[in-house]
Amino acid sequence: MQHYDAILMIASSEADSNLYYATGFLAPDPFIFLQVGQEKILLMNDLELDRARDQARVDHVLSLSEYEKSLKEKGKEAGWVNVLDLVFQERKIKWLLVPGDFPIQYADGLRGKGYLLEFKREPFFEERHPEIGGRGRLDPRRAAGHRGGHRSGHPGRA
């Protein structure tokens, strides 16, 4: 049963395959991905904004600097936690699903503003792993011919 309002990821898609899977956008610098229901949203810096709009498989690409400008006009610090707070208020989001390796500085900042964060272990997007049944176990229908064991002959090595 889904309890969360949105999925949130903050990472570089060059380093995070889940983020790349979700967006289809490859970038070396961290960016913000938000999924509310089926709606996928990126918050991007100005250097990557146009490229993200052209290449990302998302519904909306928003300007991070526009949100930062809005915060500054209100006399608030323009950090990413405050940007997210503004975006979440606009969309009435309070409960977030984040990956297990979600950056602690953002988790702490969001919790400090009253948001609930639920962490999910790998596989984050189960549909990326057809060999996994819905409960994180090897699906025997997909594992036909799988004999187990280690290919290298050494325990712990594949």
Predicted confidence at residue 149, as pLDDT, reads: 38
Domain for residue 70, yes or no?
Answer: yes
pTM of the model: 0.80
Contact 61, 42 (CB under 8 A): yes
Helix (H, G, I), strand (E, B) or coil at 92: coil
Domain for residue 134, yes or no?
Answer: no
Longest CA–CA span in the chain (Å) reads 62
Predicted confidence at residue 151, as pLDDT, reads: 35
- What is the total count of domains within the chain? 1
Q: What type of residue sits at position 3?
A: H
Task: Using pLDDT thresholds of 50, 70 and 90, give the confidence band for residue 86.
Answer: very high
Pairing of strands 60-63, 95-99: unpaired
Domain for residue 156, yes or no?
Answer: no
Predicted confidence at residue 102, as pLDDT, reads: 97
- Average pLDDT value for the chain: 85
Predicted confidence at residue 8, as pLDDT, reads: 98
Domain for residue 158, yes or no?
Answer: no
Domain for residue 135, yes or no?
Answer: no
Give the domain CATH number at 39.
3.40.350.10
Domain for residue 85, yes or no?
Answer: yes
The parent domain of residue 38 ranges over 6-128
Nearest to 50 by CA among 36, 62, 40: 62
